Chain A
Amino acid sequence: MSSSRDDFGIAIRSALLQRGAKQKFSLFFVFCLSVLIFFLDIYPNKFMDVSRSLLNDVVYRISTISSSPLNLGSNIVRNTKKHIFIYKENKLLKSELEKLKSKEYKIEFLTTENKNLRETLDAVSDNVNISIVAKVLIDKKSLFLKSVILNKGANSKIKKGMPVVEGNYFVGRVVEVNYLSSRVLLLNDLNSRISVVIQETGAQAILTGTGSDKPSLEYLPEAYEGKEGNLVFTSGKDGMFSAGLAIGKTVIDNEQLNVKLFSDSSQLSFVSIILNSKIESNNF
C-alpha cells in the first residue's frame, strides 16, 4: 500500500518537474505561471488592464491575418452558392419588393403624420443616431461566449456598453474595449440581457440569450399570452440603449416565447456602433 503511494508520488513529481532534453520549462513552472496570470487577470488592476489590452490588439491582428485564407475559402463557397440560387432569389426578391412598395406609401403617410403631430406638441426628435462603421475581424464560435471582434476601439471613441447594429437591426453590445479593437457580446449569448418592448401589446420584457439563435423573453407581464409574429424593439428602459432599435419577431417554441433575430449573427461582416447612446464612463 505504502509502496504504491510512493510510486504514485514519484511518478507525479517526475511528471511535474522533469524537463526533456529540448524542454525549456517544467510543467510545474508553467502551471504556476498560468495560475498567477489567471489571478492577476480576474482581479482588476491598471497594469493587467493595459497589458491585456495590448495583448488583445496584437493577437486579434495576427488572428485576422492567419484567418484570411480560411475566410477567402468560405467567401468563395458562399458566393458560388449565391450564384447558383440567383434566379430563385431574384424571383423571391421581386415579390417582396412589390409588398414593400405597398408598405412604403403607408410609412410615408405615417411619417408625415408623426412629424405634424410632433410639431404640434413641439417635441424634439431624439431618434438621430451618430454611429461608426466597423469591420468584424474575428467571428470564432465558442462554448462559453458568443461574441465577435471589431476593428474599432478606444481610438474611435468606443466605450463599453455601446449598442451595435447591423443595418437597422440590433445585434449586441460592446463588452471589451482595447485601443484598436473591441468585443461585441451578441444577443444570443447566455450572458446577454436586454430590456425590450413587444409591438402591439406594448408589453415590457427582458430578452435573455440562450446560446441558440432564438433568445427567450423573460419577465413578461403575468397572464401574458404570447403571439407569433410580433415585432420586438429595445425599450430604452435600461438607460443604456435608445428605444426603438429593431431586434426580431416573436416565435413560440415548446410553449416558450422566443425571438427570431433579424440579423444572422454568424454572417456579420460590417456593423455600426451607435456612439450617442447613454454611456457615460470611459472604460479605456
Chain B
Amino acid sequence: MALIKKFKYRFAKLGPIILLYFLSISELDTEFSNYFEILSFNLQLIIVYYWMLKSPNILGNGHVFFAGIINDVIMGLPLGTSPISYLVVSLVASYVKNVTVNISLFTDWFTFLVALLFSNFIHMGLMINFTELNITYTDLFYNVFFTFLFYPFFWFLFNSYRVATHVGKDD
C-alpha cells in the first residue's frame, strides 16, 4: 500500500514536467485563431512561472532548458530562443521567491506580468535582431495579454493539483 502511495506521489511529481514536454513536443497548441481570431496564449510560460515560484525542485532548470530546445525545433525557431525566454521567466520567479514571504494570487499575478514582459521583450529582441522572421506585433501583444489574463485560472488549477497530490509541500 505504501509502495503504491509512493509511486502515485512520484508520478504526480512528474505531472508538470510531462505537461511541459508534451506541450513542447506534441501538436497540441494554445492558438485558437480558428475559433476566435486573436485568441492565443503561452501555457508553457505559465507552467514555468507557477512551478518555479511554488516548488522549483519539481520542474528543474535542465527540464525547462530541454523543453525550450524541443519547442524551438518544432516551431522552426533558432535553437535557444525559447529556453532563453523560459529561463528569464524562471529567473523572475526565483527572484520573487527569494524576496517575498507571503504569496497571494495577486502578487503572483502582478509579478507574472513583469516576467512575461521581460521574457517577450528579450524573445522579440532576439527575433528582430538575429533572424529574418517577420513578427506581427498585434498577435504578439494579444498572446501576452491572454497569457496574463488566463494566469489566475491555471493558478487555481495547479493549486488544486498541489493540494490533491501533496506535491511540493516541502518547498
Give A residues with C-beta under 8 Å from B.
7, 11-12, 14-16, 18, 20-27, 29-31, 33-42, 52, 55-56, 59-60, 62-63, 66-67, 70-71, 138-145, 147, 175-176, 183, 190-191, 211, 266
Contacts and interface: CB of A to CB of B under 8 A. Distances in A.
Interface string B134-170: 1110011001000000000000000000000000000
Interface string B43-87: 000000000000011001110110011100111111111011001
Interface of B: 22, 25-29, 31, 33-34, 40, 56-57, 60-62, 64-65, 68-70, 73-81, 83-84, 87, 90-91, 94-95, 97-99, 126-127, 130-136, 139-140, 143
A70 B27 contact: yes
B112 to A, nearest CB: 16
Contacts of A12: 91, 95
A70 B26 contact: yes
B28 to A, nearest CB: 6
Given A27-B90, A34-B87, A191 B132 contact: yes
Given A27-B94, A147-B76, 4 more contacts: A30-B64, A38-B84, A190-B135, A211-B139
Contact of B65 (A30, A42, A67, A176): A30
Given A24-B62, A147-B76, A191-B133, A38 B94 contact: no
B84 A20 contact: no
B139 A26 contact: no
A106 B64 CA distance: 61
15 contacts: A15-B91, A16-B91, A23-B56, A23-B57, A23-B60, A27-B90, A31-B87, A37-B69, A38-B84, A59-B74, A60-B73, A60-B74, A70-B28, A143-B40, A145-B75
A14 B131 contact: no
A16 B70 CA distance: 23
Contacts of A176: 76
B60 A24 contact: yes
Residue of B64, B68, B78, B79 with most chain A CB atoms under a 10 A cut-off? B79
Contacts of B90: 27
B140 A138 contact: no
Contacts of B79: 37-38, 40-41, 52, 55
B25 A66 contact: yes
Given A15-B91, A37-B69, A55-B73, A142 B31 contact: yes
A243 B84 CA distance: 43
Closest 3 CB pairs of A and B: A38-B80, A15-B94, A34-B83
A138 B34 CA distance: 18
Contact of B75 (A22, A23, A24, A144): A144
Contacts of A30: 61-62, 64-65, 83, 87
Nearest to A192: B134
B33 to A, nearest CB: 7
Contacts of B77: 144-145
A46 B139 CA distance: 35
A24 B126 CA distance: 27
Contacts of A21: 57
B29 to A, nearest CB: 5
B87 A7 contact: no
